[in-house]
Structure formats: C-alpha cells, structure tokens
C-alpha cells in the first residue's frame, strides 16, 4: 500500500469547514428564512432550467446518451415543475398549525411552527445527475435552508455544468456546489451539517449514516434495490408490456425504481414475451444502438458488471453488447432461477429477467424473501389481488397497473423503507424533511392555578384526577 499515506495526506488537505462556516453565517443572518428570498431562488431554478436547457441536454447526452425528450421529462422540466410547486405552496406549508390546549394549559395557545434546519448537504447519484441534487435542493430552499450540493463524479459533464450554473443563478452566499468523488465527499461528511440527503447505493448509505452519527446529523437515505413487477394472467398484457418495457429500458435501465424483474406464470410469460419484443421494437427500432432514444451505460465498470449478468438465463431477445460504445441492447431473459447471479443484486441496466411464480402467493413469498424494495408493481384488474398485494408487500412506493408514474404526482412522498432507504421528499414531505417542526406553547398570566405547585396535598391530587 505505498500510496496510502499520500492519499491520506491529500485527503487531509481537502477541508470544507470554511465553506460551511460561510453558509452558517448566511443562515444566521436570517436571509434564507424570508419567503421572498426563497421565492427568488426557486424562480431562478426555473429560469436556469429554461435558459440553459440546451447546455443541460448536452451534458446529459455526454454522460448517459440521454435524448432531449428524456432529459426534458425526467430532469429539466421535472426540476422546474418541482421548483414551481414548492414556490406556490411553501407559504402555506410554512404556516403555524394550531393544536388544542388542554385545561391544565389554560389560559394558553399551542401550535406547531416549522423552522429551517440550517445548512443541508445533498449528495447525488449519477443516473439522474441533475434532478437528484436539484429536486432535493428545491425542497431545502423552500424550507429556508442553506445548501451544499455534491453531484456525482460519475456524471462529470453534468457535475461541471452545475458547478458553473449554480453560482450564476442562485445566491452564492447560501447555495454552493462542491465537485468531487470519494475524498471530497468523505471530507464533507466530517462536518456538522444540519441534515444530509444522500442518494445512491446502500453500501455507501451506511458510510454516510455512520459519518453523520458522529455529529448527530439526521439523514435521509434514498437507496435502491430490486423492485419486483408481478403480472397476473388477467392483466391487459399489451399495455402491461409497453409500460414495463418503457420503465425498464428508459435510461438503459439505470433507474432506482425501474421494474427490476418480472414474476409471472408460464402461460402469461408465453403471451407477454412477444408483446415485450414488439414494445421494444416500436420504441427503439430493430437496432436500438442506432436509436436516438436509447441511452448508454454510464461507464466501463458498470458495462462489465451488467454484461456479466447476461448469462443468468435463456436469452428471449436482445443480448447484444458493444464495449466501445458502452451499449447493451434491451434484453429479456427467461428460465431465470431465483438463485442466479442476476437475482442477487439490483440490475441497474437494461436486462429484464422473468422469474416464474405460478400464483400470487408464490410471487408474494418470493418478494418477501428479499429486502423491502424501493418500488413494487402489480398488473391485474382484480381488486382483491390489488388490496392483498398492497397490504402484504412493504415497499417504499407502489404502483398498480403501471410503473414509476407515482413520480409524476408532486404530493406523493418519495422514499424507501428498510434496505431501500429512510425518510422521503417531494412536495410537502420535502419541505417537512428539511424543517424542524417546533412545538410552541404560549401562556396567559391569569388565572395561574395553584394546583400544580407543591405542596402536593390530597385535595390538589383529587382535583387533578378529576380534570385529567
């Protein structure tokens, strides 16, 4: 390990405590708590997404081969609508909420008063390199916080563009970008932030949470996992196939809530396969490598990782790879054993295994034998099946008869449970994540009942029992 001392010394040179001190000073000035400041910043986010759309599209294309339309729907317009939603509702979200005061507290008033936390650190992942940091930032701004964002180094064009644009559009006294990888993130994590929002893998999530524990910093962890997709025989299979293919092969499968694998019976699998192949052909043509709508794998390491999973079953269609282009074709595998390599980890790539489950009970048993997923999907018309699935399967999010579309509903909180994460954001829930809900009680002076004060006589005790 000849370099470990040098690495350690290099790491020690990275010190962001000055940046944090500046942001703490800005927070203490009270600037970020004014609704006008928050409104200006959120308007600026909307303007940035609009005015620099071409640059953002270009960066996303360089990092992931994202088409302008996919970049628009899942990144720029998503961030912009989210900023507008926060801007329009934050004044209502910020209001005090009155609660009733019991007789022992009379005369008095009680309420819950949201207050900003301070300086928030947002660490993003590479698969939605703009959206994952900026949607978190929108919520943190709406709640009145200062923010440091640390985009993923694995999407370098997007990270560099954010580092260029944020200081131009947003208040540099309160909002900063720190670029970098493990060393920079490690240095940031040593500092006492008021909240950390981390998006990425569970293994790094554990590192983030352990570092945060040293400062008693609360964390929101947006992680991943294997999101199952159960297809029952009575589903409208043509639409089911289109929706699953869209969810699995958008962003080349590099989506935390992509349907990871299908669970279905043999007869339904036989009917579904040609429909999946048709849906892929309609979306990306006969040769998806030539399609402008089809993304690339983020880097060589992930290309090799996903490629290794291709022989986990029988190839139904796809399977072509091109390392020089980081291209993996939309692929469906059948005869996939539950113990095969592809079923041991989140796939995070365009390979869709079909695992046999002869009935709902089989499917439920399979899902419950693994970790709690970030999303769970079920395709069926049967209401009893739908209710049973929702009642028995614990998952961060769920969708019946579609995939991923809950992301389009601003007021649905987004977050995992168990191994897929903790905490949530989006809409009001994002505002609450980055707020402290302070309990306040305000007392009147008179009457000041003597009953609570010592000496604790029998008479006082009897009276207290009566009014409790």
Q: CB–CB of 204/188 below 8 Å? A: no
User: Residue 308 CB, nearest distance to ligand NAD (Å)?
Assistant: 16
User: Residue 182 CB, nearest distance to ligand NAD (Å)?
Assistant: 4
Q: Which of 131, 149, 259 has its CA nearest to residue 193? A: 149
The nearer residue to ligand NAD, 49 or 223, going by C-beta atoms, is: 223
Cα angle 275, 279, 282 (rounded to 5 degrees) comes to: 135
The nearer residue to ligand NAD, 101 or 186, going by C-beta atoms, is: 186
x-or-dash string of contact with ligand NAD, 160-199, rule CB under 6 A: ---------------------xx--xx------------x
Residue selected from 56, 137, 149, 154 as contacting ligand NAD according to rule CB under 6 A: 154
Residue selected from 212, 374, 399, 422 as contacting ligand NAD according to rule CB under 6 A: 374
Map residue 322 onto helix, strand or coil.
Answer: strand
The nearer residue to ligand NAD, 153 or 265, going by C-beta atoms, is: 153
Order of all β-strands in the sheet with 97-99: 97-99, 108-116, 435-443
- Residues 242, 246, 247, 252: what is their CA dihedral angle, to the nearest 10 degrees? 140
The nearer residue to ligand NAD, 16 or 317, going by C-beta atoms, is: 16
User: Residue 70 CB, nearest distance to ligand NAD (Å)?
Assistant: 15
- 184 an active-site residue? no
| 11 scored as a contact of ligand NAD (CB under 6 A) | no
Instruction: State the Cα–Cα distance between residues 71 and 127, nearest whole angstrom.
Output: 11
Instruction: State the Cα–Cα distance between residues 21 and 400, nearest whole angstrom.
Output: 47
Active-site entry in 46, 70, 222, 432: 222
Which run of H or E residues covers position 210?
Answer: helix 202-214
**Tokens standing for residue 144:** 């009145």
Q: Is the peptide bond before 352 cis (omega within 30 degrees of 0)?
A: no
The region of 149-157, 240-248, 261-269, 403-411 touching ligand NAD under the rule CB under 6 A is 149-157
**Tokens standing for residue 250:** 């958008």
User: Residue 413 CB, nearest distance to ligand NAD (Å)?
Assistant: 12
**Strand boundaries in 237-374, DSSP class E:** 261-264, 314-317, 321-322, 327-328, 331-334, 351-356
Residue selected from 126, 249, 284, 294 as contacting ligand NAD according to rule CB under 6 A: 126
x-or-dash string of contact with ligand NAD, 397-426, rule CB under 6 A: -------------------x----x-----
Q: Which of 229, 284, 262, 258 has its CA nearest to residue 334? A: 262
What are the two backbone dihedrals, phi and then psi, of residue 197, each rounded to the nearest 5 degrees? -110, 115
**Tokens standing for residue 309:** 């999973």
The region of 24-32, 45-53, 147-155, 322-330 touching ligand NAD under the rule CB under 6 A is 147-155
- 222 an active-site residue? yes
| 153 scored as a contact of ligand NAD (CB under 6 A) | yes
Active-site entry in 256, 295, 419, 432: 256
Q: CB–CB of 336/353 below 8 Å? A: yes
Residue selected from 26, 152, 251, 334 as contacting ligand NAD according to rule CB under 6 A: 152
User: Residue 385 CB, nearest distance to ligand NAD (Å)?
Assistant: 27
User: Residue 362 CB, nearest distance to ligand NAD (Å)?
Assistant: 25
| 150 scored as a contact of ligand NAD (CB under 6 A) | yes
What are the two backbone dihedrals, phi and then psi, of residue 407, each rounded to the nearest 5 degrees? -65, -20
| 127 scored as a contact of ligand NAD (CB under 6 A) | yes
User: Residue 455 CB, nearest distance to ligand NAD (Å)?
Assistant: 58
Q: CB–CB of 116/93 below 8 Å? A: no
The nearer residue to ligand NAD, 44 or 121, going by C-beta atoms, is: 121
Q: CB–CB of 203/182 below 8 Å? A: no
From residue 127, how far is each of 57, 163, 234 by CA, in Å? Answer: 14, 18, 34
x-or-dash string of contact with ligand NAD, 258-297, rule CB under 6 A: ----------------------------------------
Residue selected from 114, 124, 353, 373 as contacting ligand NAD according to rule CB under 6 A: 124
Q: CB–CB of 163/179 below 8 Å? A: yes
Residue nearest ligand NAD, CB atom distance: 224
| 349 scored as a contact of ligand NAD (CB under 6 A) | no
Q: CB–CB of 348/254 below 8 Å? A: yes
The nearer residue to ligand NAD, 331 or 426, going by C-beta atoms, is: 426
Long-range contacts for 216-220 (Cβ within 8 Å, ≥24 apart)?
A: 217/192, 217/193, 218/194, 219/195, 219/422, 219/423, 220/195, 220/196, 220/415, 220/421, 220/422, 220/423, 220/424, 220/425, 220/433
Q: At what angle do helices 53-64 and 35-51 cross, to 10 degrees?
A: 70
The region of 20-28, 40-48, 219-227, 281-289 touching ligand NAD under the rule CB under 6 A is 219-227
Q: Which residues are the active-site residues?
A: 222, 256
Q: What residue ranges bind ligand NAD (CB under 6 A)?
A: 123-127, 132, 150, 152-154, 181-182, 185-186, 199-201, 204, 207, 222-224, 256, 346, 348, 374, 416, 421
């Amino acid at each position: 390990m000849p370099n470990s001392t040098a690495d350690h010394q290099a790491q020690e040179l990275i010190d962001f405590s000055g940046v944090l001190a500046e942001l703490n000073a800005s927070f203490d000035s009270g600037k970020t708590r004014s609704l006008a400041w928050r409104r200006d910043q959120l308007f600026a986010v909307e303007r940035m997404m609009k005015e620099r759309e071409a640059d953002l599209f270009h960066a996303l294309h360089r990092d992931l081969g994202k088409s302008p339309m996919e970049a628009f729907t899942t990144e720029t317009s998503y961030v912009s609508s989210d900023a507008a939603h926060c801007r329009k509702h934050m004044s209502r979200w910020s209001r005090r909420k009155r609660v009733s005061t019991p007789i022992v507290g009379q005369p008095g008033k009680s309420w819950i008063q949201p207050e900003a936390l301070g300086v928030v650190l947002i660490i993003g992942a590479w698969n939605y390199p703009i959206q994952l940091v900026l949607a978190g930032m929108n919520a943190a701004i709406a709640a009145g916080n200062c923010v440091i964002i640390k985009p993923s180094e694995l999407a370098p064009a997007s990270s560099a563009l954010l580092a260029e644009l944020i200081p131009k559009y947003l208040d540099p006294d309160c909002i900063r970008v720190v670029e970098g990888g493990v060393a920079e993130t490690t240095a940031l994590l040593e500092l006492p932030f008021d909240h950390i929002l981390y998006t990425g893998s569970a293994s790094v999530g554990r590192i983030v949470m352990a570092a945060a524990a040293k400062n008693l910093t609360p964390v929101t962890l947006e992680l991943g996992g294997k999101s199952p997709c159960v297809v029952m025989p009575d589903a409208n299979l043509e639409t089911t196939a289109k929706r699953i293919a869209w969810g699995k092969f958008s962003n080349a499968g590099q989506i935390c809530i992509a349907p990871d694998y299908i669970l279905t019976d043999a007869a339904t699998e036989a009917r579904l396969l040609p429909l999946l192949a048709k849906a892929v052909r309609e979306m990306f043509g006969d040769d998806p490598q030539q399609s402008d709508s089809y993304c690339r794998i983020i880097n060589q390491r992930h290309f090799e990782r996903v490629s290794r999973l291709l022989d986990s079953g029988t190839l139904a269609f796809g399977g072509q790879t091109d390392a020089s282009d980081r291209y993996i074709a939309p692929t469906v595998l059948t005869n996939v054993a539950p113990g095969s390599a592809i079923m041991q980890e989140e796939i995070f790539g365009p390979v869709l295994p079909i695992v046999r489950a002869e009935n709902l009970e089989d499917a439920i048993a399979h899902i419950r034998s693994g970790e709690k997923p970030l999303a769970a999907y079920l395709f069926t018309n049967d209401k009893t099946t739908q209710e049973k699935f929702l009642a028995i399967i614990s998952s961060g999010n769920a969708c019946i008869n579609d995939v991923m579309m809950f992301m389009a509903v601003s007021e649905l909180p987004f977050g995992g449970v168990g191994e897929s994460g903790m905490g949530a954001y989006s809409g009001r829930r994002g505002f609450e994540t980055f707020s402290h809900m302070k309990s306040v009680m305000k007392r009147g002076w008179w009457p000041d009942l003597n009953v609570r004060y010592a000496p604790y006589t029998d008479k006082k005790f009897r009276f207290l029992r009566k009014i409790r």
